[in-house]
Homo-oligomer: A and B are copies of this chain.
Amino acid sequence: MSIRTANEECLRRIQQGAAVWTGVRQAREVVPGMDEHTVLHAGPPVAWAQMCGPMRGAIIGASMFEGWAKTPEEAVALAERGALRFDSGHHHHCIGPMSGIITPSMQVNVVRNEPFGVDTYSTLYMGIGKVLRHGAYDETVMAKLRWMNHELAPMLAAALQEAGGIDIKAIVAQAVQMGDEMHNRNKASNPLLLARLAPHLVSVAERADAIRALKFIDEAGHFILNMVMAGCKGILDAASGIDDCTLVTAIARNGHETGIRVSGLGDRWFTAPAPMIEGVYFPGFGPQDANPDLGDSAITETIGLGSLAMAGAPAVVEYVGGTPQFALETTMKMYEITAGENQAFKLPSLNFRGTPLGIDIRKVVQTGITPVINTGIACRRPGVGQIGAGLTAVPMACFEQALEAFAAQRAVAA
């Protein structure tokens, strides 16, 4: 197949992909390969010895949530003696923001790409502040985790069943016209989700439980993010494994390395050290507190959201830094390294042009332009949480390695 034909097929699959939030289930029941003591994490594979603080903290919290360990020390001992089976969530149809830790007892969102028969999973978004994904595991975090898993999740599952699912892609399409870029700004999409969900939550839950859930989802601000991430992955996974295709199907960071996957190169990761983030810090924090780039959330950029959709989200610069002009220029630059435009995500300010879609490793290497990522900044110390937000980029080395591998593969095939 010609590269052009392969890339067009990849774009076609992405454009035709769907993302419907169909349910909430326990990970061990639905996630493939989720055996006992399995611990899935964000980004490409990484060993305990290389894991960053927030990821280690989240694993400690998850081990206590599972009952594998009673204390943080016991959890660390388990990890150190190899009793935990670590793997990248990406290898199990899973995805998660920041440390992205998923263990068997956790409840996960199920998001379906029906045209391609793909289900993808993500944990429930816990809110901001002290949360598991940032490596916090004190009793307030553990109590919230138990409430979300034992009370909120069954409510959501029942509400979704009554609703017949909620179309996440449709909400994103609308929110992109309302100034959300979906990675760091979900100010439109989160209330849109709540409006769809609320009548069903009220219908299936006791009054006090429904009120608590409604307030939690509203105040969490980004509750929809985890369903969006699962939706993006489900659509991109269906566009993976196309021979001769040079388009990127995943960008993910584990806090140690940033990795990309390319449709024509199967499940391989092309990695480089995770960069630091240039950004705006919350009061009391600075660059010395920051963890390198972390989390699977750059899957949004991979599908034409996040920094690629910034031109339609000028207000996000108040959060990640920069100016509205910079936001516009970022999107315009991303058109130079992409193969198409996302027909579902149209930017009114660009006369309803679709967002840049399909990062082409050839164009990245040729132009020297690397994909920008809008992202949160995690504290390098476990348990502190988010300390800012800003901008970073996928290291050029990832694309160079991928392009070399692509050339080698073509040479073998020829």
Contact = CB atoms under 8 A, between A and B. Distances in A.
A159 to B, nearest CB: 11
A409 interface: no
Interface stretch (A195-203, A269-277, A383-391): A195-203
A194 interface: yes
Interface residues of A, number: 35
Interface in A303-344: 314-315, 317-318, 323-325
28 contacts: A174-B187, A177-B315, A178-B179, A178-B187, A178-B315, A179-B188, A188-B191, A191-B191, A191-B192, A191-B195, A194-B194, A194-B195, A195-B195, A195-B214, A198-B214, A199-B211, A199-B214, A199-B218, A202-B207, A202-B210, A202-B211, A202-B214, A207-B207, A323-B351, A324-B348, A324-B350, A324-B351, A349-B349
A215 interface: yes
Most buried by B among A177, A198, A210, A318: A198
Contacts of A207: 202-203, 207
Nearest to A174: B187
A181 to B, nearest CB: 12
Contacts of A199: 211, 214-215, 218
A179 B179 CA distance: 7
Contacts of A187: 174, 177-178, 188
A84 B190 CA distance: 47
A348 B178 contact: no
Nearest to A191: B191
Nearest to A325: B351
Contacts of A324: 348-352
Closest 8 CB pairs of A and B: A314-B348, A191-B191, A315-B348, A191-B195, A195-B218, A177-B315, A178-B178, A199-B211
A188 B202 CA distance: 22
Interface in A164-213: 174, 177-180, 187-188, 190-192, 194-196, 198-199, 202-203, 207, 210-211
A196 B191 CA distance: 9
